C-alpha cells in the first residue's frame, strides 16, 4: 500500500545525510518532522480501521459457524422426523455456511497480517519521529554553530585583508612624509641660496656707493 511505502521511505531516511544535503537544514528538519507527524496520524487511522475490519470479519466468521451448527441441528431433527428431503436441504445450508465461515477465516488471517504490518510500521515511525525530534535541536544547533564558524572565518579573512590595507596605508603615509620632508629640505636649501645671492647683491651696492663717494672726494 502507498501509505506503507511512504512510511518506509521516512523510516529509512538518514536525518544527518538530509541535513548535509539541504540548502536550509533547519527548514528541512522541521519539514521532515511535520511529514512524520502527518504520516503517523494516517497510520494510526489505518490501524484503527484495519482492527475494526478484523473484528467485523471475525464476527461474520462466528455467525456463519453458528448458522452451520444450527442447520446441522435442523438436519438431525428432520432425520428424526423421517423427513429426509428436509434433512438434505438443511445439510446443504449447513455446508454453505461452513464454506462461508472458512472463507471468512482466511480473510481474518489476512487482515491480522495487515494489522500486524501496520502496527509494526506505526511503532517504527513513532521511534523514528522520537529520534528526529530528539536530534532536531542538536542538528539545528550544530548547523547554526557551523554557520557562525563560517561567518567568523569570513570575518577573519576580511580582517586579514583590512590588515593588508592598513599596512599599505602606513607605507603610503611614510612615502608622503618622506616626500614632504624632501620638499621642505629643498625649500630650506632654496632659501639659503637666495639669502647668499641677496647678500652678494647688497655687497655690490655697498661697493658701488663706496666708489661714488670716493669719486666725489
What tens-digit pLDDT sequence spans the chain (217 residues)? 566 666 666 666 666 666 666 667 677 777 878 888 888 898 889 899 999 999 999 999 999 999 999 999 999 999 998 888 999 999 999 999 999 999 999 999 999 999 998 898 888 888 888 887 777 777 777 767 766 776 666 666 655 554 555 665 666 666 666 666 565 555 544 445 566 666 666 677 766 666 666 576 5
Can you give the pLDDT at residue 163? 52
pTM above 0.75, yes or no: no
Which residue range(s) make up the domain with 83?
2-167
What pLDDT sits at residue 42?
87
pLDDT of res. 154: 64
In a domain, 201, yes or no: no
On whether residue 208 sits in a domain, the answer given is no
Q: Does a structural domain hold residue 198? A: no
Residue 7 has a pLDDT of: 61
With beta carbons less than 8 A apart as the criterion, state whether 43 and 7 touch.
yes
In a domain, 38, yes or no: yes
Residue 207 lies in a domain: no
Distance separating alpha carbons of residues 69 and 98, to the nearest angstrom: 9
Largest CA distance in the chain: 197
Q: Which three cell numbers stand for residue 194?
A: 637666495
d(CA 70, CA 86): 14
Per the structure, the count of domains in the chain is: 1
Q: Which residues contact 26 (CB under 8 A, 6 or more apart)?
A: 140, 143, 144
Amino acid at each position: 500500500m502507498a501509505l506503507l511505502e511512504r512510511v518506509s521511505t521516512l523510516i529509512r531516511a538518514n536525518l544527518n545525510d538530509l541535513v548535509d544535503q539541504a540548502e536550509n537544514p533547519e527548514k528541512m528538519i522541521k519539514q521532515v518532522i511535520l511529514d512524520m507527524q502527518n504520516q503517523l496520524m494516517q497510520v494510526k487511522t489505518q490501524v484503527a480501521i484495519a482492527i475494526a475490519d478484523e473484528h467485523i470479519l471475525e464476527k461474520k466468521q462466528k455467525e456463519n459457524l453458528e448458522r452451520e451448527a444450527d442447520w446441522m441441528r435442523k438436519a438431525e431433527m428432520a432425520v428424526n422426523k423421517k423427513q429426509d428431503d428436509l434433512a438434505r436441504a438443511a445439510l446443504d445450508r449447513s455446508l454453505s455456511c461452513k464454506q462461508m465461515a472458512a472463507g471468512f477465516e482466511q480473510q481474518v488471517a489476512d487482515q491480522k497480517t495487515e494489522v500486524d504490518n501496520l502496527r509494526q510500521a506505526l511503532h517504527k515511525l513513532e521511534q523514528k519521529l522520537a529520534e528526529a525530534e530528539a536530534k532536531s535541536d542538536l542538528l539545528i544547533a550544530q548547523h547554526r554553530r557551523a554557520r557562525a564558524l563560517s561567518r567568523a572565518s569570513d570575518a577573519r579573512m576580511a580582517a586579514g585583508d583590512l590588515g593588508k590595507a592598513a599596512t599599505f596605508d602606513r607605507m603610503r603615509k611614510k612615502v608622503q612624509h618622506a616626500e614632504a620632508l624632501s620638499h621642505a629640505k629643498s625649500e630650506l636649501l632654496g632659501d639659503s641660496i637666495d639669502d647668499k645671492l641677496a647678500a652678494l647683491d647688497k655687497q655690490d651696492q655697498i661697493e658701488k656707493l663706496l666708489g661714488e663717494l670716493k669719486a666725489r672726494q
